[in-house]
Amino acid sequence: MLTCTTCWELYKGNNGNLKNGDECPKEECEGHIATIDEMFLHSIVLLNEKGYRTRFCCSGHSLAGESDRAYIMFEETVKQKDLAPLPAGFTFETFDVDHVLIQKALSANDRFELHREAVGTSIDVLEWARTLPALEATTKNQKG
Asked if residues 74 and 80 have their Cβ atoms less than 8 Å apart, the reply is no
What is the domain extent for residue 13?
Answer: 1-35
Bridge partner residues of 2 (DSSP) = 11, 35
More confident residue, 134 or 18: 134
pLDDT tens digits, 68-100: 889 999 999 999 999 999 999 999 987 777 899
- Whether residues 52 and 2 fall in one domain: no
- Whether residues 29 and 42 fall in one domain: no
- Global pTM reads 0.84
- Whether residues 28 and 18 fall in one domain: yes
Whether 13 is in a domain gets the answer yes
- Whether residues 9 and 59 fall in one domain: no
